[in-house]
Chains A and B, each alone.
Chain A
Amino acid sequence: MNGRVRKGDHLSKAPLCRLTPKGALLSNSYEQTSDLELARQARAEDESAFAEIVRRYSPRVFHVAHRFFRDRGQAEEAAQETFLKAFAQLKSFAGRGSMEGWLTRIATNTCLNMLRSASRRPELITPDLTEDETDWLEKVSDSSERLDAEQQVIAADLAERLLETLPAEDRLALMMIDGEGASVNEVAAATGWSESKVKVRAFRARKKAREALEKLIGKKYRA
């Protein structure tokens, strides 16, 4: 070899890169970068570092967003808002805790705020139930069989309608503790609430959900 650089050499030796819609290069070399370093670079308005944070933690943020919102559009909006808020608050991330925990907290509070601003808490009453939902309630009350795909969708619909009757905070506590099996500590860490507040919220939500369903079942049996 004569040591001269041939046309195209730089392409084969360059790290794997991809282009953003604006044409900026996003280098995959960021995959090995620590969260703290990414935060530092993103703070200096390095778009690639911020993109890597979004790529790395999108699944987690989406998980939190879908806990609150069934609608895909709303969940995406909440997730986007979370990342933009996170960028604005990057100074507060000192690396003492994990970035995942830090983002989870921002996502949770963002979703809570969005849900609060909607502030729609209709009461769940029997005439509002669809025929499918009434049938589902009868079946699930009478048997403990596994639900098929169609029944799962009906159950998720009914669950959403039940959760809509609860305040945003109560809903979150119920979803995390009773739905996901999270501990009181975990909910406290994700929300920044005290443990006693978490317990009170969960108790209230559980009671309200139980009473709402009790009414539905009672009316069903009376009818």
Chain B
Amino acid sequence: MPEGHITEILDNTPFIALTQSELSAIREHTSSCSECANAFQAAQISSVLLKERISEAATSAANANPFFQTRVLAAWREQQEQASAWSFRRLWNTTGAIVASMAATTAALAALTFVVPVTDTNNQQTAANQQAAALLPYSAETVVLEQDQGDNQLTNDQVINAIYVDDDEGR
């Protein structure tokens, strides 16, 4: 027990934990020191206030909201949904470029596979028709119907060739 004021004891020890010997020493000192008497009373009131505050907290905790569990689970679900949306976004940010380039490649391949061959086929068919037309310059009908114009069918080249062939044979 120090010889001086008792405030150090009051600040070092909880009021409820003061021993009997400490309390009697405090009382002895406060009988002659009004300053410490005031400090002791303040410590006592502080202890009462805390006790009441704790008691109120215990009562409030016992009467908790019955829907608290529902509220927490709702918040939990919301958090989970946000987390999954966020993880999808993160995945997209990481792989988005690759996925986009793969999609573009697939589209290009599809175009090459389905669109270009159709055009090719059309072109091939046109070419085949032209070739056939070249091989068969006259249809049967033309031949039959235009029998009278047989001479007119000879081209100038054919005529010239025919003349010069005769000449060559003469030499």
A59-B61, A66-B60 in contact; A80/B10 too (CB < 8 A)? no
Over the window 183-220 of chain A, the binary record of Cβ atoms lying under 8 Å from chain B Cβ atoms (1 yes, 0 no) is: 00000000000000000001100110111011001100
A67 at interface, CB cutoff 8 A: yes
Report yes or no: B45 in contact with A206, Cβ–Cβ below 8 A.
no
Interface residue count on the A side (C-beta < 8 Å) = 56
A98 at interface, CB cutoff 8 A: no
Over the window 20-56 of chain B, the binary record of Cβ atoms lying under 8 Å from chain A Cβ atoms (1 yes, 0 no) is: 0000000000000000001101110111111111111
Nearest residue (CB) in B for A65 is B61
Report yes or no: A76 in contact with B45, Cβ–Cβ below 8 A.
no
Report yes or no: B42 in contact with A67, Cβ–Cβ below 8 A.
no
CA A206 – CA B11 in complex, angstroms?
Answer: 6
A12 at interface, CB cutoff 8 A: no
> Which residues of chain B have C-beta atoms less than 8 A from A218's C-beta?
38
CA A203 – CA B8 in complex, angstroms?
Answer: 9
B65 at interface, CB cutoff 8 A: yes
> Which residues of chain A have C-beta atoms less than 8 A from B17's C-beta?
181
Nearest residue (CB) in B for A216 is B42
Over the window 60-81 of chain B, the binary record of Cβ atoms lying under 8 Å from chain A Cβ atoms (1 yes, 0 no) is: 1110110011111111110110
Over the window 128-164 of chain A, the binary record of Cβ atoms lying under 8 Å from chain B Cβ atoms (1 yes, 0 no) is: 0000000001001100000100001101101110110
Interface locus among A1-9, A32-40, A47-55, A112-120:
A47-55
A66-B60, A155-B48 in contact; A179/B54 too (CB < 8 A)? yes
Q: Bin chain B's interface residue count.
A: 35 or more
A75 at interface, CB cutoff 8 A: yes
> Which residues of chain B have C-beta atoms less than 8 A from A213's C-beta?
42-43, 45-46
CA A68 – CA B57 in complex, angstroms?
Answer: 9
B156 at interface, CB cutoff 8 A: no
Chain B nearest Cβ from A140, distance in angstroms: 6
B108 at interface, CB cutoff 8 A: no
Q: Give residues 53-95 of A contacting B (CB, 8 Å).
A: 54-55, 58-59, 62-63, 65-67, 70, 72, 75-76, 79-80, 83-84, 87
Report yes or no: A84 in contact with B72, Cβ–Cβ below 8 A.
yes
A41 at interface, CB cutoff 8 A: no
Chain A nearest Cβ from B71, distance in angstroms: 6
A45 at interface, CB cutoff 8 A: yes
B16 at interface, CB cutoff 8 A: yes
Report yes or no: A80 in contact with B61, Cβ–Cβ below 8 A.
no
Chain B nearest Cβ from A201, distance in angstroms: 12
> Which residues of chain B have C-beta atoms less than 8 A from A206's C-beta?
10-11, 14, 43, 46
B123 at interface, CB cutoff 8 A: no
CA A201 – CA B58 in complex, angstroms?
Answer: 23
Report yes or no: A175 in contact with B77, Cβ–Cβ below 8 A.
no
Q: By CB atoms of chain A within 10 A, which of B11, B17, B46, B56 has the most?
A: B46
Report yes or no: B39 in contact with A80, Cβ–Cβ below 8 A.
no
Chain A nearest Cβ from B43, distance in angstroms: 5
12 more A-B contacts (CB under 8 A) besides A66-B57, A76-B65? A72-B65, A75-B60, A76-B64, A76-B68, A76-B71, A84-B72, A141-B45, A155-B53, A163-B53, A178-B16, A180-B54, A218-B38
19 residue pairs from A and B, CB less than 8 Å apart = A20-B70, A22-B77, A51-B73, A62-B60, A75-B61, A76-B68, A84-B79, A140-B48, A152-B56, A155-B52, A158-B49, A159-B50, A159-B52, A178-B15, A178-B46, A213-B42, A213-B43, A213-B46, A217-B38
